[in-house]
Amino acid sequence: MNAYLFKELRETARWLPLAWLIFAGLLYVALPQMSNLYLTQGLADRLVFQTAIGGSLVAFGLGLAQFMLDQRSSARAFLVHRSLTPSQLFRGKLLVGLGIYALGVGGPLMLLTLYLSWISDRFPCTPFQTIPAWVISIFCTAFYFAACLVSCSNARWFGTRCFPIVGSILIVSGACVILAPELLWIVALILCLPAFGLIAMIRAASESFVFASSAPSPTANVPIGWERRFILTITSIAIVAAIGGTFRSLLTQQSRTLSTYYDLKIDPSGDPNLVVYQNTPDINEPRKLVQSIRYTMENGQLLSEESTKPNAKLNDRSCYFINRPKGYAELIFQWNPNYLGQRSGQNYFQMNNGFVHSYGLSFQGWRLDHVIGANGMTENGRYPSEPFSGRVRQIIDYGNHANGPQPENPSTNAIPRMHIVDGDGIVEIELDKKQVRRIGNLPGSQWGWGTSSPSLFQGHQAPRYLYFFLDQQIHVYASTARQGDIESVQDELPTYKFDSKIDVPSEFKSGVFQFWFGATGHYTFFENMLIQVENEPKRPGYRIASSSPGNSKLKSYEFPIPKSLITKDTEVSPIGIGLLGAIVPPVAMFPYAVFLPFLGVFPYPYYSIPDHIGWLVGALVLQIAIAMILAYLAAQQRGLSARSRTLWLILSALLGPASSLAILAIYPECFREPCPRCDKRRRVENELCEHCGKAWDKPADEGIEIIETSSNAINEAVLA
Amino acid sequence: MGRPSIIKSEIAIEASGLTRYYGSKPIVRQIDFAVPRGSVTGLLGLNGTGKTTTIRMLVGLLAPTRGRSAVLGIDSQQLSPSDRARIGFAVEGHFLYNWMSVAACERFQSGTFPRWDSRLFRDTIDRFGISLDAKVSQLSRGQRAGVSLALTLSSLPELLILDDPALGLDPVNRRALNETILEFVQSGDRTALLSSHLLDDVERIADRILIMVNGRIAVDCPLESLVDRVSCCTVELDDDTTKLGQIPRLIHARRVGKRCVLTLVDFDSQTQDALQRIGGENLSRNPAAFDEAAIAYLSRSRGSESFFTPSQP
């Protein structure tokens, strides 16, 4: 076995540099470009994404290199014919292949983890942020086993041979649930599904390697385990759904199906408002306000409840494992009270001498890009101007960031404008003119920023609104930059003008008032309260939770969204509903179509199912009928027994047309020849005719044979 | 289902109703044969007649479409590692890992077989003029065959199955190959089955012959029987070759000038009568040489080689 392991190691290790190049290269190229590298969940997100891509590529490449080469007829014969079982050979390959994969993917990830650990005492990051990537890297091994299945399959390349790749994509995609902002145990529970898929993939790969015949069909004598059936069936469903979904998407786009969505706003009186938008095809006005419902907090409509404990034990700042948002802001400031935040890829710190330093961040380390003084002077590493006298709270925006300033770049002075918030309000600095202008004089006020649609301002990385809390009122300053597509506002620098005042409800008067935006868009965070979108079907609405400093318990209020508002959408096209019924497997559609509407739960947020139930049911029935016909034909073509055929017909009624694809993927081709007794076509691999029970006749002699062996003796010996 | 336990018999390889389809095409068709222990059996057949497929089914690398086969009394599809250690199998084309040296090949092979005779390995590669340090990628085809044979023999198998071991070898290496096989088989109670296209080599080392024609076994007998039972007649015939169909046990016919050379099996009075009926004047009848007999059978796989090949019933 050692000799075999050495051989595998020697053959596979040569791919290790390539694996490093692919994976580490992806990390190196992609990570420094992210705008908020260390500070938010973005690092975990990005790492997961890069690991999913890089890990899958490495795993699939390694699998192909290991299995494909040894599946050549002579190579397989040479490898298999020795005193090792095929299972041992498979395990040996697995040991080496996964070991190389661990080095190829785990090596760079480990270096990154160590690096984050090294800088985490100075910067707001944590090595725990790599944990999701580690988890995903494990699931990426599905591609390794898929490569084995692809290599050992005797299907045609343009047929069902590559189906396991789709299965791997499903597994890795499913594993990305690790990023879901849910409790850890819920995430772990959901992860069991891709884990089950991975186990099935391993077992299927093992079976396909052990029983690979490296020859074309028929292979009816080769066993097909449940694992392969499971993977190929799920894959078939995914493929059919993807094709159907694309088709549906094209049609519904043409029919301009409109959708509604909702948001929560605070009106000038301080009351929360549920606002309902509808999308429009106009790119300049992608949504229009169709409804607004004001909630009053005094008339008893709010439900209060004691929320679960905030997760105070976890302190990994921005890692997704602390998706309880409360600790995020605190930890940033605990780490460095002078940290001002990050805008446009620049990290701002107010130094003890009052100057603001701006650091660019890359994997090579931190880089001091410029120093900002109170008069707007910026010089590299020099302090020719006056420092800020008080605490600078935040850098709001920073123009021309796309061509970011560099220490050696004289274009630093070309940076047109920036806004900061200090202890006295908003300061606008026109850097090129070295002019400073105070916009709002709001001494000592608490402040925050927000935007109704951050992505529209991504070009500037600038907030749409600035909020200042003063005298139980929120003073709102709005950006003058117009909303629109990112390209059109790239070069338009905002300034801020007073917009309105909002009376703050009494419940929220204490504590520091801060807006924070979560990466998911489901949360709007305050220092002592958060607004959370509840997308649970049974409890649609918003939840506002608040707490006072030092109190670990949250007090929460719920703003239910009226069902009538959600389920009512008269603009929706019936084609969309019909196609929904036509492509989604019936087993998945029945609960939506039949049960949930009667229970009063909206099945799909943007569609009005009850209005189009006829379309839905009609499409479902049609789908089932077509699926059963296709499954019957496929079962006939593959020569399935009556029992298997019946089973697949039942399955086809549940799974839809995907079941016929699954039949074709699972079962080998069936060939038949006419039976000389009953004249019906019989399967060539059956010893006896399935119709009349007749054994195969020996080919007739031609009269020239010279056989000097006793056939009877042979038969007796073989059958003994 | 347990493995069939067969009593220690005199049969090393058995096939019963062995059939293999590739797609809808039957490549091996219901073949039955037996290879006695201690024999050297040559498996002959044109390209594509199913030799390699048969061998791959025998060693359990390919599942038969139907039928069974057994080697050393064990069902081919259920060979355990210890069973495989008793079977030496050299694959067609002398597959070796190019990145290995000859010494590395030996280490790899010896590490995956329970018994190993290093001396035999070195003696065998010496015979082919190969050094242990040589890289496989730099070996000639003949030398690769030598290494492949050495690797196969040095595990001291009871049964040797060689798939076209002499493919592409020069005469010197062929002789070395034949001598090595013969010496090995004669050194114990060992059996060999080798497929080949080289009739001289087969005649030199084999004592039994299997000839496959269109996926079927046409000849399964000792080499002497083949030579004894097949004869060649030279007759004069007119241009109407369709009359040849009336001759029983006609294997093959070819025209040489105005004469026809007929290769027949078990020539008897019935054959003689048929010859007279078609008006052929029997000029001579001689026992067929081995290669003539074998080629006559082999030619039935390829109609274009002969102006007349009796149609199959």
Per-residue model confidence as pLDDT tens digits over A302-342: 333 332 233 222 222 222 222 223 333 333 334 444 667 66
B154 touches chain A (CB under 8 A): no
CA-only gyration radius of chain B, Å: 22
With contacts defined as CB-CB under 8 Å, which chain A residues touch B82? 83
Q: Does A289 touch chain B (CB under 8 A)?
A: no
What is the pLDDT at residue A140? 95
d(CA A486, CA B262): 90
CB-based contact (8 Å) between B249 and chain A? yes
Tracing tokens 């984050």 back to the chain, one arrives at A116
Q: Tell whether the model's pLDDT for residue B247 goes beyond 70.
A: yes
pLDDT in tens, B157-178: 889 999 888 887 788 888 888 8
Distance in angstroms (rounded) separating the CA atoms of residues A60 and A52: 12
Mean pLDDT value of segment A531-549: 50
Please indicate, yes or no, whether residues A529 and A635 belong to a single structural domain of this protein: no
3 state DSSP class of A144: helix
Q: List the one residue out of A326, A321, A53, A328 whose CA is nearest residue A180.
A: A321
Same domain for A224 and A108? no
Higher pLDDT, A423 or A214: A423
Q: pLDDT band at A543, cuts 50/70/90?
A: low
Interface check for A720 against chain B (CB to CB < 8 A): the answer is: yes
Half-sphere exposure for A542 (CA within 13 Å, toward CB) = 25
Nearest to B70 among A10, A687, A718 (CB): A718
Q: How close B29 comes to chain A (CA, Å)? A: 8
Same-domain status, A636 and A519: no
| φ, ψ (nearest 5 deg) of residue A54 | -65, -45
Q: Check residue A546 and give its pLDDT.
A: 52
Q: What is the ipTM, given to two decimal places?
A: 0.86
- pLDDT-derived band at A157, boundaries 50, 70, 90: confident
Inside any domain, residue A720: no
User: How far apart (Å, rounded) are the C-alpha atoms in residues B197 and B92?
Assistant: 12
Domains for chain B: give ranges and CATH numbers: 8-213 (3.40.50.300), 228-299 (3.30.70)
CB contact under 8 A, A7 and B108: yes
Which residue from B56, B113, B220 is facing A708, i.e. has the nearest CB? B220
Residues A439, A444, A445, A448: what is their CA dihedral angle, to the nearest 10 degrees? 80
Beta strands in A295-389 (DSSP E): 303-306, 339-343, 346-350, 356-362, 365-372, 378-379
Task: Give yes or no for B2 touching A (CB within 8 A).
Answer: no
Hey, is the C-beta of A336 within 8 angstroms of any chain B C-beta?
A: no
Burial A328-341 (b: 16+ CB within 10 A, else e): bbebbeeeeeebbb
Assigned token pair, B122: 């070195």
Does residue A710 form part of some domain? Answer: no
Please tell me which residue of chain A has the smallest CA distance to B74: A718
Determine, for residues A74 and B91 on separate chains, whether the beta-carbon distance falls below 8 Å.
yes
Which of B65, B135, B227, B300 is the best substitution to test chain A (most A C-beta atoms within 10 A)? B65
Residues B263 and B310: beta-carbon distance below 8 Å: no
Q: What angle do CA A581, A586, A592 make, to 5 degrees?
A: 70
Query: Is the CB of residue A696 less than 8 Å away from at least one CB of chain B?
Result: yes
Q: Which residues of chain A have a CB within 8 Å of the CB of B219?
A: 705-707
Judged by DSSP in three states, A628 sits in helix
Residues of A in contact with B112 (CB under 8 A): 1, 3-4, 82-84
Burial of A309 per CB tally in 10 Å (0-12, 13-18, 19+): exposed
Within A484-563, strands assigned E span: 496-503, 516-517, 523-525, 529-534, 541-546, 555-560
Residue A632: the pLDDT is 93
Neighbours of A237 (CB within 10 A): 23
- Report cis status (omega within 30 of 0) of the bond before A218: yes
Cβ-defined contact of A684 to B29 (cutoff 8 Å) = no
For residue A456, what pLDDT is reported? Answer: 35
Block residue for tokens 């992608």? A286
Tell me: do A468 and A588 sit in the same domain.
no
Closest-approach residue (CA) in chain A for B229: A706
- pLDDT score of A313: 29
Please name the helix (run of DSSP H) or strand (run of DSSP E) that holds residue A110, with its range, or none.
Answer: helix A107-119
Under the banding of pLDDT at 50, 70 and 90, the label for residue A98 is very high
Higher pLDDT, A254 or A196: A196
Greatest mean pLDDT among A152-156, A320-324, A345-349, B41-45: B41-45
> Which residues in chain A have Cβ-Cβ distances shorter than 8 Å to B249?
703-704
- B66, B114, B312: residue with CB nearest A83: B114
Q: How confident is the model at residue A138 (pLDDT cuts 50, 70, 90)?
A: very high
Distance CA A397, CA A451 (A): 13
Residues A244, A104 share a domain? no
Token pair belonging to B38 = 């201690």
CA distance B175 to chain A (A): 24
A10 and B CB contact within 8 Å: yes
Find residues 24-63 of chain B whose CB sits inside 8 Å of chain A.
24, 26, 29-30, 32-34, 56, 59, 61-63
User: What is the nearest CA distance from A100 to chain B, expressed in angstroms?
Assistant: 19
Least trusted range by pLDDT, from A202-206, A245-249, A421-425 = A245-249
Hey, are the CB atoms on B250 and A704 less than 8 Å from each other?
A: yes
Pair (A160, A206) in one structural domain: yes
Considering the domain architecture, whether residues A683 and A555 belong to the same structural domain is answered as: no
What pTM does this model have? 0.70
- Among the three residues A551, A566, A581, which one is the final residue of a domain in this structure? A566
Domain that includes residue A633, residue range? 218-255+572-696
Whether residues B109 and A82 touch (CB distance < 8 A) is answered with yes
pLDDT attached to residue A331: 37
Domain boundary among A566, A597, A623: A566
Residue A350's beta-bridge partner residues? A356
Nearest Cα residue in chain B from A210: B61
Sequence-separated (6 or more) residues with CB below 8 Å from residue A246:
none
Nearest CB neighbour to A685, from listed B65, B81, B222? B65
Q: Does residue B268 sit at the A interface (CB-CB below 8 Å)?
A: no
pLDDT over 70 at A293, yes or no:
no
User: Are A168 and A208 within one domain?
Assistant: yes
* Residue A711 located in a structural domain: no
Judge whether A45 and A126 are in contact, CB under 8 Å: no
Whether A260 maps to a domain, the answer reads no
Does B14 contact chain A (CB < 8 Å)?
A: yes
| Residues A77, B91: C-beta atoms closer than 8 Å | yes
| Separation of alpha carbons A348 and A338, rounded Å | 9
Beta bridge partners of B192: B40, B160
Given this model, what pLDDT does residue A463 score?
63
Instruction: Determine the residue type at A359.
Output: Y
User: How many domains would you assign to chain A?
Assistant: 3
Residue B220 has φ and ψ, to the nearest 5°, of -145, 90
Measured over all CA atoms, what is the biggest interatomic distance in chain B, rounded to whole angstroms?
69
Q: Are B275 and B250 in contact (CB under 8 A)?
A: no
**CA triplet A484, A486, A487: central angle to 5 degrees?**
110
Distance from CA of A212 to the nearest CA of B (A): 8
**Could you say which of B29, B100, B312 has the minimum Cβ distance to residue A702?**
B312
In the predicted structure, residue A366 carries a pLDDT above the cut 70: no
Minimal Cβ distance to A696: which of B11, B30, B114: B30
Contact criterion met (CB < 8 Å) for A718 and B108: no
pLDDT value of position B164: 87
The domain boundary residue, chosen from A509, A535, A566: A566
CA distance A418 to A378: 12
B313 has a chain A CB within 8 A of its CB? yes
B chain contacts of residue A87, beta-carbon cutoff 8 Å: none
* A712 part of contact set with chain B, CB < 8 Å: no
Residue A265 lies in a domain: no
pLDDT (tens digit, 9 = 90+) per residue, A64-77? 999 988 888 888 88
- Cα–Cα distance for residue pair B219/B227, rounded to 1 Å: 11
Q: Residue A558: CA atoms inside 13 Å, Cβ hemisphere, count?
A: 14
Instruction: Give the minimum alpha-carbon distance from A152 to chain B in angstroms, rounded to a whole number.
Output: 13
> CB distance A705–B108 less than 8 Å?
no
Rounded alpha-carbon distances, angstroms, from residue A29 to A24, A43, A213: 8, 14, 43
A282 domain residue, yes or no = no
List chain B residues with CB under 8 Å of A639: none
For residue A57, the one-letter residue type is: L
Mean pLDDT of chain A: 69
C-beta of residue A62 within 8 angstroms of C-beta of residue A100: yes
Cα separation, B105 vs A7, whole angstroms:
10
Q: Are residues A173 and A29 in the same domain?
A: yes
In the predicted model, is pLDDT for residue A408 greater than 80? no
For strands B216-222 and A356-362, give the pairing. unpaired
Is A160 a domain residue? yes
A491 and A364 fall within a common domain: yes
Q: Which chain B residues are Cβ-neighbours of A75 within 8 angstroms? A: 95
Alpha carbon distances (Å) from A425 to A343, A357, A390, B49: 18, 20, 11, 92
The residue of chain A nearest to residue B222, with distances taken between CA atoms, is A708
For residue B148, the one-letter residue type is: S
Tell me, yes or no, whether A308 lies in a domain.
no
Distance CA A233, CA A650 (A): 14
**From the candidates B1, B8, B18, B21, which should be mutated to test the interface with A, based on the most A CB atoms within 10 A?**
B21
Backbone angles phi, psi at A468, to 5 degrees: -125, 130
Same-domain status, A354 and A503: yes
Position A414 scores a pLDDT of 43
Residue B225: which of A88, A685, A708 has the nearest Cβ?
A: A708
Contact indicator for A663, A224 with CB cutoff of 8 Å: no
pLDDT for residue A445:
65
CA dist B277 and A714 (Å) reads: 40
A87 at the B interface (CB within 8 A)?
Answer: no
**B-contacting residues of A 574-633, CB under 8 Å?**
none
Tokens standing for A545? 């939770």
Q: Is the pLDDT of residue A690 over 70?
A: yes
Probe site for chain B from A5, A81, A90, A154 (most B CB atoms < 10 A): A81
Distance CA A282, CA A298 (A): 39
Nearest by CB: A687 against B34, B66, B93 = B66
Using H for helix, E for strand and C for coil, what is the string for chain B? Answer: CCCCCCCCCCEEEEEEEEEEEECCEEEEEEEEEEEECCCEEEEECCCCCCHHHHHHHHCCCCCCCEEEEEECCEEHHHCCHHHHHCEEEECCCCCCCCCCEHHHHHHHHHHCCCCCCHHHHHHHHHHCCCCCCCEHHHCCHHHHHHHHHHHHHCCCCCEEEEECCCCCCCHHHHHHHHHHHHHHHHCCCCEEEEECCCHHHHHHHCCEEEEEECCEEEEEEEHHHHHHHEEEEEEECCCCHHHHHHCCCEEEEEEECCEEEEEEECCCHHHHHHHHHCCCEEEEEEECCHHHHHHHHHHCCCHHHCCECCCCC
- Those residues with Cβ within 8 angstroms of residue A264's Cβ, 6 or more apart along the chain or in another chain: A272, A273, A274, A275, A524, A531, A533, A542, A559
Cβ pairs bridging A and B (under 8 Å): 179
Q: Using 50, 70 and 90 to split pLDDT, how confident is the model at B5?
A: very low
Work out the burial of residue A283: count CB atoms within 10 Å of its CB; fewer than 13 is exposed, 13-18 middle, 19 or more buried: exposed
CB atoms within 10 A of CB A521: 12
Same domain? For A108 and A172 the reply is yes
C-alpha span between B141 and B168 (Å, rounded):
7
Cα A279 from Cα A282, distance rounded (Å): 9
B87-120 pLDDT, tens digit each: 999 888 888 998 899 999 999 998 888 889 899 8
Contacts of A685 in chain B (CB under 8 A): 21, 65-66
Amino acid making up residue B32: D
Question: Which residues of B are less than 8 Å from A3 in CB distance?
Answer: 107-112
Per-residue pLDDT at A362 = 44
